[in-house]
Each structure stands twice: as structure tokens, then as C-alpha cells.
Amino acid sequence: MIDAIRRWRDETGETHALGVARVVLGLLLLENALRAGDALRRGYFGDVFHWPIVPEALVPSRAAYAALLVAQGVLAGLVVVGLRARPALFASAALGAYLLLCDRLQFHHNRWAMDCYAVLLSLSPCDRRYALGSRARDEARVGPLWAARLAQVQVSIIYLASGGSKFFDPDWRDGRVLATRMALYGGNAIAAGVPRGIVAWLGDPGVASGLSKLAIATELFLAVGLWIRRTRPFALWWGVWFHLTIEATSRVEGFTWLTLAMYGLFATPDAHARRLTYDPASPFQRGVARAVAGLDWLARFRIEPALTAGVAGGGIVVFDRDGQPRTGLRALVGIVRATPLLFPAWWPLSGLARARTLLRLPTTPPRVRSG
């Protein structure tokens, strides 16, 4: 046990995922500050009924509150661009927690989760990638990952707490909460492009009951499945669609994008372990290579022209960690699996590729016994 704790403490790895998580978190912190500023223009919470946890004397005045929101916006900007990002993250979390303590009516689980992730990322080398003035040396790509692992634990804690509380709540298990949510926010889903018929179907009591049980099972599965190597790819894919569905049908502020950003921390921290080769004479293949390079936020691929890589053939070839070449649809599956923006299409494409492989397997003629 002690050796396992030491390995966890001393683990190091590539830091691109930490940089991506920091940028997304900074944007969400900025959006939260702007949303609070817009609410302040309509009225200051301290002038109406509020419910502070701290003594009333510690609740800021309107002018002080406005100054704190400006400070939050400035800190969020520093987080996004990567200047003094780690102290800015910690200060953002401290200010956010303080303001939540000033009025528990403003408490939302996603806001508290954002502050928790901000603290944990402030303890990590999240400023070594996607940051102004970040060091370009190869050794700077690698850093300690113990804080990233704590952020992963936080993801599982949220799933376990959410799924467990729903499991012990009969209104959730029976679908009444979900049906009420669809009645309240179904208009938002329709405005976002969800067909009206689907919204009505989701609000049906029988459907809502089944989906509630599926949501509970999903959260409890994700709390564990994200940690198991064999189930992790499917858990990530299922979790992406789970949160995108919630985003389309409910009001969860930025919790969807916050959680998906933290999903990147579950990616194996081995930059450029995959390789993509292309024919430089083909404009189409050059375009694909540029697109993959632009979307490769986690630095999964080393992209090379086939002529200099010594690879035979004129098509796009993807080499996974095992070194085996993959072409055609299987190459596309390899690209989609390792590219965050395309990842939602991974599992269906993977199933299609397997089906095509099975259909192309040669059949062995039956043996004829000699009588």
C-alpha cells in the first residue's frame, strides 16, 4: 500500500490535458463572472432577502461586490491565457467560495465543483501548455500528476454523490423529478433544436421512470468505469453523450463543459504516442493532416509526410500505440478516438469498422469426410 501511494505521489506525465482543462475552466470562470455582473445590473443580492453563512458584517457592499466581480473576471482572463495561472486559479476559487458563503441562495453544485477543480488545478503544472510564455523545451512537457489524479477523484466523488442521492430518493427513482424537469425546461430544449416530439416523449411518466433509472446507473457506472482501463474508453464515450443530453434538456450552466474538460485528465499522458502519415502530394490528405493537427488538443499524434516517414502506400495511415498500421475506416476510427471534438462519433464508427472486418473474413469450406 505504501509503495502504491508513493508511485501515485511521484507519477509524472505529459501536461497537454492539464493545459486544456485550465483553459476551459478559465473560460467558465469568466462566464460565471459575467453572468454575475449581468445579475448585479438588475439588482444587488444584498438589498433583498439573502441567506449568508458568514456573519452579515462580512457580506460585501454593492460597490465591494462589483469590485470582487471585476477581480474574478481579471483572474479568469489570467487563467485562460496562462499568465500566473496557478495563483489566479487559487484566488478565483477563494473568491468564489467566499461569495457562495455570502448567500447560500446562489449556491449551485456546478459552481462549487468549479471552485474545487480550480483549487486542484492550481496545484498542478497546468501552465506548461497553451500558455503565453510557456517553456518550449521538451522536458517542460512532463510534470507531476498527483493533483490531476485528485481532480479525477473529484469527478468520481461527484458521480457517486449524485447517483447515490438519486438512488435513495424515491421521486428520482420513479421519474417524477425528471418529468418535472422536462415540464419546466422542455421549452429550452426545443429552443436549442431538440424536436418537440422527443421532448414530449421524454416527459412521459413511463419514459421518465426508465430514463431516471438509466441516469442513476450511468452515474454509478461512471464513478468506477472511468478508472478501469478496459472500460475507460466506453465510459468516456457514454459520459460525453450523457452530459450532452443533459445540456440539451436542462439548465446546468457550464457543468457539462467543466466535466468534459476534466475527462481529458483520464487520457493516458503520453504525447505523440500515435503517428499519422499522409501523402504530401494529395491536397485532400494534406487538409486532413492539418485538420487533425488543429484538433489534436491532447497531442496524441505525431504527424509526418509518408515520403519522409518511409511508409509505403499513398493513403492516410494511422499507427496506434501498438505500432500496427491502420488504413481506411480503421484509420478514421483511430483519429476519432484520439480527437476530443470528434470523440462522440467513436463508438458507432468502431462498431461499423468491426462489422466490416467480420463481413470480409474469409470463410473456411467445410471438411468432407471420406466414407
Residues in the chain, overall count = 371
Model pTM score: 0.88
Confidence class for position 371, pLDDT limits 50, 70, 90: very low
Confidence class for position 246, pLDDT limits 50, 70, 90: confident
- The pLDDT mean for the chain works out to 89
Q: For the chain, what percent of residues have pLDDT higher than 90?
A: 67
Average pLDDT (116-143) is 82
Residues in CB range of 90: below 8 A, 6 or more apart: 118, 119, 122
HSE of 64, CA atoms in CB hemisphere, 13 A:
10
Q: What is the pLDDT of residues 223-245, one digit of tens each?
A: 999 999 999 999 999 999 999 98
Confidence class for position 368, pLDDT limits 50, 70, 90: very low
DSSP 55-112: -GGGSPPHHHHHHHHHHHHHHHHHHHHTSSHHHHHHHHHHHHHHHHHH-GGG--HHHH
Residue 358's pLDDT is what? 79
Tell me the backbone φ, ψ of residue 142, rounded to 5 degrees.
-100, 140
Q: Is the pLDDT of residue 361 over 50?
A: yes
Residue 90's pLDDT is what? 98
Q: What is the pLDDT of residues 46-60, one digit of tens each?
A: 999 999 999 999 999
